[in-house]
Amino acid sequence: MRNVTVDNVTDVVIDSLGQHATLEPRQREIMESLIKHLHGFCKDVNLTHEEFLYACDYLGRAGALCSDKRQEFILLGDILGVEVLVDMLSNPISGDETVSTVLGPFFRENAPVMPKGASTIQKNFEGQETVYVEGYIRDNKGNPIPGAIIDVWEDAPNGLYENHDPDQPEYNLRGRFESDENGHYAFVAIRPVPYPIPGDETAGELIRYMGHHCMRPGHIHMMVTREGYRPLISQIYDADSDYLDNDSVFAVKEDLIGKFEKAPEGSDTDLVLRFDFTLGNQAQAMAAE
């Protein structure tokens, strides 16, 4: 095609797909839709060449920031509500399964394995409130699930995760726990506080361009896995936290809000939090898909 115009360029690019290599049906579906929507966006806003070049530079700078401590593209996807949308599309809820939400950019693999009821706290902060978190892992028939792995992580009272704070010990406020024969899990943590997602670099540029704030409500991340069940990536939100109604990454779900209660007199922690999880059967989920 030697005569590419505004009117035919989208069709020209789509027609080029698969000319020199066979495309799988899913590849073609993704690329055709991407090209149509991307070209449509450019036409809708009458994108200028200067803006296009800025976008290319912006994406290059975002890529340069990615490391084992910061995944900038996940962060950008969070700010735009893309990760929460993809999560909802990928993990439709069946029955009374616990709803999932975003993984976020601060997860670290290989958190220390700890006995039930152990504390994730390696460093104390002034004004912190300790909390005993417990609950049950069950299937969608109400049966306990023993041997489920609960991977937890949260920010410190200074609003920073340990992998973004050189003053915190390695894997502070992170841990992996296993549910017992009754499906019960428990650990000690710190009451999470609202914190700003990184507002520097490209993430900050984007959120300021959107006219939005950077704050997230206080929450504890929890990933629950057990062979034979659909993995669950979720968060427990503090019912008394600010920003529940205007989370900067749009990840709050009503069913994930938990109440941090004052611990009974004589307890080892300031607060207690009870939160149960229901996992869906992996085979049933695959059949539904």
Average pLDDT, whole number, for the chain? 94
- Residue 133: band (very low, low, confident or very high) from pLDDT cuts 50, 70, 90: very high
pLDDT, tens digit, for every residue of 70-115? Answer: 889 999 999 999 999 999 999 888 888 999 999 988 899 999 999 9
Query: According to the model, what pLDDT value does residue 284 have?
Result: 58
Q: What is the mean pLDDT of residues 242-264?
A: 97
Residue 62 has pLDDT above 80, yes or no: yes
- Residue 285: band (very low, low, confident or very high) from pLDDT cuts 50, 70, 90: low
Query: According to the model, what pLDDT value does residue 69 have?
Result: 76
Query: According to the model, what pLDDT value does residue 33 have?
Result: 98
> Which residue type does 26 have?
R
Question: Phi/psi class of residue 18: alpha, beta or left (left: φ > 0; alpha: ψ in -120 to 50)?
Answer: left
| Global pTM exceeds 0.85 | yes
pLDDT, tens digit, for every residue of 148-185? Answer: 999 999 999 999 999 989 999 999 999 999 999 999 99
Contact assessment for residue 118 and residue 177, using Cβ atoms and an 8 Å cutoff: yes
Residue 68 has pLDDT above 90, yes or no: no
Residue 2 has pLDDT above 80, yes or no: no
